Structure 1
Amino acid sequence: MLEETNDNLPQADGNYDRETAPSVQTDPADDSVVNNVVAVGEDGDVLKKKSAQDAIDDSNAEESEDETLKERHTLPMKDYGTFSLEQLVDALKELVVTDTVMSIKEHVDEIKKAFTVEFNHLIEEKKEEFNAENTDSNEEFEYHSPLKSKFDEAYSVYKTKLNAHFKSLQTNLKGNLEDRLAIVEELKNLINPQENIKDTLKHFNELRERWKNAGPIPKDKYNHVWNNFHFHVENFYDYLHLDREARDLDFKHNLDQKQKIIARVEELTQEADVNKAFRELQDLHRMWKEDIGPVSKDHRDEIWNQFSELTKKIHDKREVLFENLKELEVENLIKKKEVIVKLDQLAIEKVNTHSQWLAQIDKVEALRSDFFAIGKVPTEVNEATWAGFKSAVRKFNSLKNSFYKEIKKDQTDNLNKKMALVEKAKALRESTDYSSSTPVMKKIQDEWKQIGHVPRKYSDKIWKEFKEACNHYFDNLKEHKSEENSEEVESFDKKKAYLETLRSFEMTGDHKIDLDAIKMHIENWKQLGKVPFSRRHIEGKFNKILDALFEKLSLSKKETDMLRFTNRIDSLSENNDTRKLDNEKIFLMRKIDEVQNEIFQLENNIQFFTNTKNAKKENSIVLEVRKNIAIHKEGLAVLKDKLHQLRELDQ
């Protein structure tokens, strides 16, 4: 195929030689005379100096190659860097169901980038946790994430669609390019003075219609092929002896259409959404270039200058927008650096307890969320900023892991202690000696609570074993108590009936006979057995009756006191109330100390009075003191007898 070049174009003063390849000044839409502006890439970076028209032509060439790209503007870009892994997977799955695969390419690329960053961070954390908990160098780190599998599955669907799309597109582009070059070649050879003008016009219109329906071509060929076509269309209009009336009518129609486009572009200069205005401007340039033919030379420069000036206004506004985005990215960079500084500070701040480390970890997670929520930074510092963030997090994790490595030895010791308690609990789980085993089991449970953390991979297992052993023992104890309760209820009923018998007991007046009878009642009462805990009030009623009987006996105070004490201690002993027995023992020991101290003080007082010159006059006082000493010594003897009785009970 012959590709038309501009080598044979004459000067732009309109002079031409029909014997040479004809040429005219082309539509300024192909010129690069529009004021240069800065073209900005998708990420906001300055790429190179470009004219407004060049920027639009490049974008239109790309979208002309693949029309599905036009739909990307209908999908607003989201800040995927702030999404969680779950949200990124859901967003990808939602996008890949569309058939217009190229329209979502930029979104998928951003999602993949965000997912890779987030997932790599997760892997680093899991690996550091693994290294902290496992000292066995032979055990390799492995981590499987269902989210990663879901992401890979959705991304694979996207890649399959993308590859199929590219394969189909490349095949079509090549064929369409050949068709368009053939149309240009036919158009170039259309000038034939020997042919009937009506037939020529008919052929010309057929070529234009074929051009419209020829389909997309490679974007790197788009502007060159279109310029060739446009050149020969203008050449056909301006330099052949055509039907002037038909030509002028077509010129007028084209002028009217282009003026409408200019009017719309003027409205777009007031549009608040600059990106929206620029996208519509691209479409208007495409219509100007592809759908509308040339206008007369009298209006050609003027109308193009109007169009290009308005184009520059919108393009300048877009440039300002990108500059503002660059400023925002610089502000984001400052904020992210502040986050990194805070992370660096946490990475050197040592704490000494697990709870404090949990608080530090929460702070790091909050800063990490802040970092990702801040937004983009200038591309040229993006890698360095990310590296600084990862370094700060890594240093924090290293400090954290060193702490947990230090306490791992303690956790191993705790594990050994708890395993020993598990063995004790298992040894007692089948015991039926409940009176001795129950306190031991309770002590084991208390000791378990006092022991600290164990390595996480063992905690559930040993807790399950310990819990099962304890539950088994106490379930047996509960069942045993249920059996005992029926006997205790029966004992209560017997004691209740015995109280009625005891209330009718009459004293004979013979001290020995009455004392023996009371002792017999006490012994009978003991033989009736224990009563339920909730009904132990019956013991108090029995003691009141005994107190009344003791009052009627001519017993000494000591004998009465000892009988009552013995009866009460026996009752506590029968009910296995070790707590009250221990309390009684402690009370007696304290009371003995108090009485001994009191006796010592009184004896010192006597020495004071007997050593004075007026000791005879103070004799009544001395006698009173001696009397008190005797009373205290008598009470002390009773207390000692009681304590002796309790100690014999222990033995």
Structure 2
Amino acid sequence: MLEEKNDNLPQADGLNPETETNTIVDAINSTNAEDSEATSINESDHIPLANYDELSLDELNTELDTLLKNEKITTIREHVEAIKRSFLHKYTELIDEKRKVFLEENPDAFSTDFQYELPAKSQFDSLYHNYRDQRNGHFKSIQDQLKKNLAERNQIITELKEIVENTENYNTALKDIQQLRERWKNGGPIPKDNYNHVWNNFHFHIERFYDQLHLDREARDMDFKNNLEQKQRIIDRASLLINEPDIRKAFRELQTLHRIWKEEIGPVAKDHREEIWQNFSNITKQLHSKRELLQNEIREREENNLAKKNEVIAAINEIASKEFQSHSDWQNAIKEIEQLRTQFFNMGRVPMEQNEETWANFKNVTRNFNVHKNNFYKDIKKEQQDNLVKKQALIEQVKSLSESTDYDNTTPVMKKIQEEWKHVGHVPRKFSDSLWKEFKQICNSYFDRLHAERNKEIDAEMANFNSKKDYLESLKDFELTGDHKTDLDAIKKHIENWKGLGVVPQTRRHIEGKFNNVLDALFDKLSLSKKEAELVKFNNKIENLMESNDNRRLQNETIFVQRKLEELQSEIFQLENNVQFFSSAKADNPLVKEINKNIDRHKDELNLWKEKLVQLKNINKNDA
């Protein structure tokens, strides 16, 4: 019978169509035999695989514990083994690092003296042993069940053989046969090595029974008809699978349909056997061809992933081969390695036969980079010790300044020390936190006192501002008498009073401008010379800057006056040169007279700015 033929493996070159079809069907039957046993041991529930290489040791333990508590033991083998690989890799790297630190800190010690207990490792061992015990127990129970199912099926065959060889009443025998077929259908999986032999044996005796049913054609034909209808429904369902977009899903269902065809449905009339089996075989061949195309596409993607992963491995190896001389260079290299690692993990699967080799190559180049990195940081250990001494010295400096009340002189020094701290560099890890906390606490204590003092000053300055605001309001009623000396003395007195009200907050300095505007208006009404008025106003401006301790603006004012002098001297020089072009002209020449007038005006202005510079120099001399 064609429907009893076994299958395996894709078509080889030179096979005829019938041989090709049989080979495809054999492959499905063989897979069903393996799945029948393996499904009991490894159920097909799909649990997404996490990127375990990105998890810490504690996170890996949590993931393993969650799987053991929440998932069937038959569904997590791939996950557990992936967790185990990642855990042992990370644990080995950690132990190697700890051993290096131990040997560096204990130069006289041997490698065998190193001892390190990691709670995460003990927890992992316990979880993994729990998994292995559960799986072994489950596997043993499954093997026992497979043997029990095999014994049951052999018993069914024995009973079937007895009916075929000793029956007299075929109507009764047919009912017994149906019961045996139902028992067979529900008999459960058996060892894959026995699958085809047991199935062929069972159907051999079924065929013998139906060959004897010619004595009761009606019963036989009814059963043949029923089987034909069931197999036709299987063919109809299989034909729909050709258009199923998910080829994997379609092929899995095709395997199930083959299992039902073979396991659960009896033979059909001889007239239909060849045709119906050929129809089912043709559909099987079409689906198998689509599956082959998909597998080729998957293989091509995996080959592309392999090429890309090899490129990443080469890139990591190239970086690991470079000689970096500074901490910043190493940090940049570490970032590049992390980016390449992320690319590697996001690239998808590679061909299974090259997976282990690719993973091993990736781990080797990554480990090589880490070895070079660790050697570099071991070499800068002395530099960290020097930095430790420097930071301890800075702490002593801020301690000596922390109680000072000379805030104007101490604060710039404190800020300079803070800036130096930033540029000192790394210290040994075990001192880093304690040093920083001590330094920060001393600085914070000083600046807290400074801010409290500044707040007091701000309150006083706000009081000064309110007083100046009231005083400015009172100046609206001030009027000049017309007597030059009396009015000048009165204005100077107002200036004196204004200065006596003190400094205002930086954000309220606009009130000084309002007062200066009032002074400008008063000086304009006085019969003072322009030079005298300018000098009085300039002196008032300079004194305001001195009272506010605004050294920067005083310095800027000095620079501005000096530049103004240079500009005037240059303009005077240019004008005097221009006069030389008119040496033959008469003195009353309008153009010559205008140039000489400009020269005199510029010289007067020059003298004014010189006196302003003298005032500034006197201020600087007094400060010194």
TM-score (norm 2): 0.66
Percentage identity across paired residues of the two chains: 37
Q: Which of 231, 234, 255 is residue 224 of structure 2 equivalent to?
A: 255
The question of whether the paired residues in 1 share the 8 Å contact of 2:146 and 2:189 is answered with: yes
Q: Which of 18, 27, 30 is residue 58 of structure 1 equivalent to?
A: 30
1:431 equivalent in structure 2: 404
More helix as a share of residues: 2
2:611 equivalent in structure 1: 638
The question of whether the paired residues in 2 share the 8 Å contact of 1:415 and 1:455 is answered with: yes
2:16 equivalent in structure 1: none
The question of whether the paired residues in 2 share the 8 Å contact of 1:80 and 1:114 is answered with: no
Residue 311 of structure 2 is aligned to residue 341 of structure 1: yes
> Aligned partners of 2:286, 2:498: CA distance in 1, in Å?
110
> Aligned partners of 2:221, 2:561: CA distance in 1, in Å?
126
Q: Which of 287, 295, 299 is residue 329 of structure 1 equivalent to?
A: 299
The question of whether the paired residues in 2 share the 8 Å contact of 1:596 and 1:636 is answered with: no
Write out per-residue CA displacement over residues 473-493 of structure 1, whole angstroms, 9 at most, x where no aligned residue.
Answer: 444333323333444455456
Q: 1:124 to 1:371 in 2, by over 3 A?
A: farther
The question of whether the paired residues in 1 share the 8 Å contact of 2:572 and 2:602 is answered with: yes
Which range is displaced more, 544-553 or 328-337? Answer: 544-553
What is the identity, as a one-letter code, of the residue corresponding to 1:61?
A
Task: Kindly state the Cα deviation for residue 315 of structure 1 after the two structures are TM-superposed.
Answer: 4.7
Task: Kindly state the Cα deviation for residue 153 of structure 1 after the two structures are TM-superposed.
Answer: 9.3
2:18 equivalent in structure 1: none
Q: Which of 138, 156, 161 is residue 165 of structure 1 equivalent to?
A: 138
> Aligned partners of 2:116, 2:63: CA distance in 1, in Å?
25
Which range is displaced more, 118-127 or 639-648? Answer: 118-127
Q: 1:517 to 1:441 in 2, by over 3 A?
A: same
2:17 equivalent in structure 1: none
Q: 1:504 to 1:515 in 2, by over 3 A?
A: closer
1:480 equivalent in structure 2: 453
Task: Kindly state the Cα deviation for residue 330 of structure 1 after the two structures are TM-superposed.
Answer: 2.9
Q: Which of 515, 523, 526 is residue 541 of structure 1 equivalent to?
A: 515
Matches within 5 A, 1:503-514: 503=478
Residue 603 of structure 2 is aligned to residue 648 of structure 1: no
> Aligned partners of 2:232, 2:47: CA distance in 1, in Å?
30
The question of whether the paired residues in 2 share the 8 Å contact of 1:61 and 1:222 is answered with: yes
Residue aligned with 2:611, SS: helix
The question of whether the paired residues in 1 share the 8 Å contact of 2:5 and 2:22 is answered with: no
Structure 1: gaps (5+ residues): 1-26, 41-48
What is the identity, as a one-letter code, of the residue corresponding to 1:340?
N
Write out per-residue CA displacement over residues 341-384 of structure 1, whole angstroms, 9 at most, x where no aligned residue.
Answer: 36635764789999998888777666655555554433333334
Residue aligned with 1:432, SS: coil
1:579 equivalent in structure 2: 552
What is the identity, as a one-letter code, of the residue corresponding to 2:291?
L
Q: 1:434 to 1:232 in 2, by over 3 A?
A: same
The question of whether the paired residues in 1 share the 8 Å contact of 2:316 and 2:366 is answered with: no
> Aligned partners of 2:604, 2:541: CA distance in 1, in Å?
24
Task: Kindly state the Cα deviation for residue 438 of structure 1 after the two structures are TM-superposed.
Answer: 3.6
What is the identity, as a one-letter code, of the residue corresponding to 1:579?
R
The question of whether the paired residues in 2 share the 8 Å contact of 1:61 and 1:223 is answered with: yes
What is the identity, as a one-letter code, of the residue corresponding to 1:55?
A
2:353 equivalent in structure 1: 380
What is the identity, as a one-letter code, of the residue corresponding to 2:304?
I
Task: Kindly state the Cα deviation for residue 307 of structure 1 after the two structures are TM-superposed.
Answer: 2.2
Q: Which of 172, 176, 195 is residue 222 of structure 1 equivalent to?
A: 195
Task: Kindly state the Cα deviation for residue 337 of structure 1 after the two structures are TM-superposed.
Answer: 1.0
What is the identity, as a one-letter code, of the residue corresponding to 2:196?
N
> Aligned partners of 1:375, 1:630: CA distance in 2, in Å?
85
1:311 equivalent in structure 2: 281
Matches within 5 A, 1:182-331: 182=155, 184-185=157-158, 201=173, 215-232=188-205, 234=207, 245-246=215-216, 248-249=217-218, 251-267=220-236, 268-269=238-239, 271-272=241-242, 273=244, 275-276=248-249, 278-292=251-265, 299=270, 303=273, 306-307=276-277, 310-311=280-281, 314-315=284-285, 317-318=287-288, 321-322=291-292, 324-331=294-301
What is the identity, as a one-letter code, of the residue corresponding to 2:138?
H
Which of 1 and 2 has higher RCO (CA within 8 Å, sep 6+)? 1
Task: Kindly state the Cα deviation for residue 314 of structure 1 after the two structures are TM-superposed.
Answer: 0.8
> Aligned partners of 2:172, 2:462: CA distance in 1, in Å?
124
The question of whether the paired residues in 2 share the 8 Å contact of 1:491 and 1:531 is answered with: yes
Aligned length: 590
What is the identity, as a one-letter code, of the residue corresponding to 1:344?
A
> Aligned partners of 2:180, 2:469: CA distance in 1, in Å?
123
Task: Kindly state the Cα deviation for residue 303 of structure 1 after the two structures are TM-superposed.
Answer: 1.9
Residue aligned with 2:10, SS: strand
Task: Kindly state the Cα deviation for residue 642 of structure 1 after the two structures are TM-superposed.
Answer: 1.8
Q: 1:540 to 1:221 in 2, by over 3 A?
A: closer
Q: 1:252 to 1:577 in 2, by over 3 A?
A: same
Matches within 5 A, 1:8-27: none
The question of whether the paired residues in 1 share the 8 Å contact of 2:64 and 2:127 is answered with: no
What is the identity, as a one-letter code, of the residue corresponding to 2:298?
L
> Aligned partners of 2:51, 2:205: CA distance in 1, in Å?
50
Write out per-residue CA displacement over residues 280-303 of structure 1, whole angstroms, 9 at most, x where no aligned residue.
Answer: 45445444544455678xx29x72
> Aligned partners of 1:212, 1:497: CA distance in 2, in Å?
107
Q: 1:77 to 1:312 in 2, by over 3 A?
A: farther
The question of whether the paired residues in 2 share the 8 Å contact of 1:251 and 1:294 is answered with: no
2:110 equivalent in structure 1: none
Task: Kindly state the Cα deviation for residue 646 of structure 1 after the two structures are TM-superposed.
Answer: 1.5
> Aligned partners of 2:387, 2:565: CA distance in 1, in Å?
44
Residue aligned with 2:197, SS: helix
Structure 2: gaps (5+ residues): 13-20, 107-113
2:15 equivalent in structure 1: none
Q: 1:568 to 1:135 in 2, by over 3 A?
A: farther
Task: Kindly state the Cα deviation for residue 275 of structure 1 after the two structures are TM-superposed.
Answer: 4.7
What is the identity, as a one-letter code, of the residue corresponding to 1:58?
S
> Aligned partners of 2:289, 2:172: CA distance in 1, in Å?
46
Residue aligned with 1:431, SS: coil
Task: Kindly state the Cα deviation for residue 581 of structure 1 after the two structures are TM-superposed.
Answer: 2.3
Q: Which of 147, 157, 170 is residue 174 of structure 1 equivalent to?
A: 147
The question of whether the paired residues in 2 share the 8 Å contact of 1:585 and 1:646 is answered with: no
Matches within 5 A, 1:68-79: 68=40, 72=44, 75=45
What is the identity, as a one-letter code, of the residue corresponding to 1:218?
P
Task: Kindly state the Cα deviation for residue 578 of structure 1 after the two structures are TM-superposed.
Answer: 1.9
> Aligned partners of 2:192, 2:588: CA distance in 1, in Å?
136
The question of whether the paired residues in 2 share the 8 Å contact of 1:92 and 1:154 is answered with: yes
The question of whether the paired residues in 2 share the 8 Å contact of 1:411 and 1:454 is answered with: yes
Q: 1:632 to 1:65 in 2, by over 3 A?
A: closer
RMSD: 6.3
> Aligned partners of 1:519, 1:203: CA distance in 2, in Å?
133
Matches within 5 A, 1:573-612: 573-590=546-563
Task: Kindly state the Cα deviation for residue 169 of structure 1 after the two structures are TM-superposed.
Answer: 2.1
